[in-house]
Amino acid sequence: MTSDAALTTQGLAPRGDGSVLLIACGALAREILALKAANRWDHLDLQCLPAILHNHPERIVPAVRAAVEKHRADYDRVFVVYADCGTGGQLQAACAVLDVAMVPGPHCYAFFEGVDSFAARDEMTAFYLTDFLVRQFDAFVWEPLGLDRHPDLRDIYFGNYEKLVYQAQTDDPALTAKAQNCATRLGLRFERRFTGYGDLQTALAEL
C-alpha cells in the first residue's frame, strides 16, 4: 500500500456543540481531508474504514453500523460518506434504522461526476478509476483479479469494456500518465474527465 494507507485513520475525542463525525470509505480519505482543509471545516472529524472494503461490499454495512454505534454519543451528528457501493440498498436501510444520513448515489463514480450526469451517460462499457484507484491500481484491481499471475485473464474480465474513464479529482499530470498506463495494460481506450470533488463537496458543504 502507498501513503494513502496513512490517511485512513484519525484520532477521535469527544467534541462539543455542532460537531459532526464523518464515517467514510478509506478510498475517500485524501479528498475529504483536502476539502476540510480548503474550507476550514474544523467541526468535521473523520473516521475512515479500510479502503479494501471497496472489494468486499458485504462487509460495509456491519463495519459502518459498528462505527456509528461506537462513536455517535460523542458527536451531535454522524454522516456516512459512502454511497450504496454494491450493498444492494442494505447500507441505506441500515442508515435509516441508525437515523444517520449518507451520500446519495450508487457509488463514488456517480457522485464524483454528479449522480444525474452519470446516470444520463448510461455507459455500460466503461471501466472507471478515481484518483485513489489510479494510485492503488495494482493493489485494488490488477492483483485481486489475478492479472499479475495470469495476464491471459485480462480479455475474460475486460473483453466487454471499450474504454477506461479516469475521473480526475485533481489536475495531476503524473496521475493522468499512470491512468493512461492502466488503460494500456487493460487494452482499453483512455478518456480523462476532470470531475473535481463533485457531489461529495456538495454533501459535505451541507453539513
99: domain CATH number is: 3.40.50
**SS3 call for 31:** helix
Shared-domain flag, residues 16 and 90: yes
Q: Is residue 158 part of a domain?
A: yes
State the distance between the two ends of the chain, measured CA to CA, in whole angstroms. 31
Nearest CA among 17, 97, 105, 111 for reference residue 64: 97
Q: Is residue 201 part of a domain?
A: no
Q: Is residue 24 part of a domain?
A: yes
Cell of 96: 435509516
Shared-domain flag, residues 12 and 48: yes
Tell me which of 74, 103, 132 is where a domain ends.
103
Position 18 scores a pLDDT of 81
Shared-domain flag, residues 46 and 95: yes
Q: Which residue has the cell 457531489?
A: 199
Q: Is residue 207 part of a domain?
A: no
Is residue 3 predicted with pLDDT exceeding 60?
no
Shared-domain flag, residues 96 and 141: no
Shared-domain flag, residues 135 and 99: no
Is residue 11 predicted with pLDDT exceeding 80?
no
Tell me which of 103, 124, 149 is where a domain ends.
103
Q: How far apart are the C-alpha atoms of 201 and 194, rounded to whole Å?
A: 14
**SS3 call for 34:** helix
Shared-domain flag, residues 65 and 135: no
Tell me which of 60, 77, 103 is where a domain ends.
103
What single string gives the DSSP state of each residue in 119-160? HHH--TTEEEE-HHHHHTHIIIIITTTTTTT-GGGHHHHHTT
Q: Is residue 204 part of a domain?
A: no
Q: How many domains does the chain have?
A: 2
**SS3 call for 25:** strand
Shared-domain flag, residues 154 and 95: no
Structural domain boundaries, residue 32:
3-103
Shared-domain flag, residues 91 and 143: no
Shared-domain flag, residues 150 and 181: yes
Shared-domain flag, residues 153 and 123: yes
Question: pLDDT tens-digit profile of 48-106?
Answer: 999 999 899 999 999 999 999 999 999 999 999 999 999 999 999 999 999 999 999 99
Q: Which residue has the cell 482499453?
A: 188
Q: Which letter does DSSP use for residue 207 in this model?
A: -
Q: Which letter does DSSP use for residue 165 in this model?
A: E
pTM of the model: 0.88
E strands of 6-99, at which residues?
A: 20-25, 44-49, 77-81
Which residues lie below 8 Å from residue 96, measured CB to CB, with a gap of 6+? none
Shared-domain flag, residues 160 and 96: no
Q: Is residue 11 part of a domain?
A: yes
Q: Which letter does DSSP use for residue 161 in this model?
A: -
Nearest CA among 107, 16, 7 for reference residue 49: 7
Question: pLDDT tens-digit profile of 106-126?
Answer: 999 999 999 999 999 999 999
Cell of 136: 492503488
Shared-domain flag, residues 97 and 162: no
Q: Is residue 200 part of a domain?
A: no
